[in-house]
Amino acid sequence: MSKPKQVTIVEVAAAAGVSIATVSNVLNRGGIRSSKETIRKVELAAEQLGYRRNTMAAGLSRSKTYEIGLILPGLTNYYGQLAERLQIEAHNAGYHLSVFSSGGFDPDIERRNLEVLLQRRVDGLICHGLAMGFESTRSIVNSGTPLVLINGWNWPEDIALGAVNLGFAEACKQSTKLLVDRGCRALCYVGSKGSKVIDEQRRNGFNAGVQQYASDVKNEIVDTKDLDIEAFLKSVLQRHAMPIGIVAFDDHVALRLLSAANKLRIDIPNQLQIIGINNDYIAKNSYPGISSWDIPYNYQAQAAINKLLHKFGNRAESGEEREIEVPLTFIERESTKPLKTE
């Protein structure tokens, strides 16, 4: 039982009384047509013997694997959701997606995963951000394997030609406008430096928003790392005019802020307003509900896969060489509902 010699086309051919070439033909379709009779015989034999095609042999022989490698910083929350969608889209396009996580943003693990995937001779690669840096990436990816980046800004074209980026910057920018419109008289961005470029985009957007829509109100930027949230809230409420508007890195951070506020009996949204990003389960189910930016996973996943297909030259897919910006959509909940309505 430990390895019952998997059956090969040779045996199927013998059982069906035809040559291995014929078996290969009927089992892969597409190419040459065979007579009804042989098809039946072959399929029957394959069925009975429990034939299962050996991917390695097939891949080796035609130097094409129909496999796409995906490298993400992690697999929880946003990343997990994205991976699931990508897997579906890949399948719809006739490919398989192998998912790898490089634990946080660890360049070494990332390099290792990349290496594994390239040794597998995957047809293409989809990576989220990339901890490794340009040069390092270039040297390893110059194998000619198409690479599409998700949430990778400003990458040299010879490495990743275009990327599928979420409009975090714009979302954060609009958040500031929204908070000001809702009456906020001071703004904060609570970020998460650990997430590198992702955080940078948000920060930039926040700054741009402040400059454009709220140049007259106080604002500050802090990071959750080593942040005592309760102390921070107290301090902010004391130093600035209320209500205070906070743009949180994501719904997780938003939840922490919300909980601290509840504990301190801070009135939301009259004293404090919060906007998160991701439109998680959390945002929907906390109390009060957290206004958040929803991510169009389907669209994002489709865009990424299409870009790859385009690179493969499969069809005239819509994926071009340009960066694609995927816009988020705002879902408003009680954490920012207009003052009067509440």
Partner DNA sequence: CTGTTAGCGCATTCAG
Partner DNA sequence: CTGAATGCGCTAACAG
Asked if 294 is part of the footprint of a copy of itself (rule: CB under 8 A), the reply reads no
Q: Which residues contact 333 (CB under 8 A, 6 or more apart)?
A: 283, 284, 288, 289, 290, 291, 292
Residue range at the interface with DNA (CB under 7 A); choices 17-25, 235-243, 248-256, 334-342: 17-25
Give start and end residues of each alpha helix (H) in 50-92: 55-62, 77-92
Considering CB distances under 5 to 8 angstroms, the limit depending on partner class, which of a copy of itself, DNA, none binds residue 33?
DNA
Please report, as residue ranges, which positions from 18 to 77 form the binding site for a copy of itself (by CB under 8 A).
Answer: 50, 52-57, 59-60, 63, 65, 74-77
Q: Would you say 123 or 199 has its CB closer to a copy of itself? A: 123
Give the Cα-Cα-Cα angle 204, 210, 214 (nearest 5 degrees): 170
Maximum alpha-carbon separation in the chain: 87
Considering CB distances under 5 to 8 angstroms, the limit depending on partner class, which of DNA, a copy of itself, none binds residue 19?
DNA
CA 227, 278, 83, 121 torsion-angle sign:
negative
Please report, as residue ranges, which positions from 23 to 82 form the binding site for DNA (by CB under 7 A).
Answer: 24-25, 27-28, 31-35, 37-38, 51, 53-54, 57-58, 60-63
Residue 323 class from Cβ within 10 Å (0-12 exposed, 13-18 middle, 19+ buried)?
middle
Neighbours of 330 (CB within 10 A): 15
Give the Cα-Cα-Cα angle 170, 171, 177 (nearest 5 degrees): 90
Number of amino acids touching DNA (CB under 7 A): 31
Nearest approach, Cβ of residue 192 and a copy of itself (Å): 13
Cβ atoms of 335 and 289 closer than 8 Å: yes
Nearest approach, Cβ of residue 207 and a copy of itself (Å): 27
Strand 218-223 with 67-72, pairing:
unpaired
Asked if 252 is part of the footprint of a copy of itself (rule: CB under 8 A), the reply reads yes
Residue ranges in contact with a copy of itself by CB under 8 A? 1-4, 6, 50, 52-57, 59-60, 63, 65, 74-77, 79-81, 83-84, 87-88, 91, 96, 98-101, 103, 112, 115-116, 118-121, 142-144, 146, 252, 255-256, 258-260, 262-263, 281-282, 285-287, 313
Residue ranges in contact with DNA by CB under 7 A? 5-6, 8-10, 17-22, 24-25, 27-28, 31-35, 37-38, 51, 53-54, 57-58, 60-63
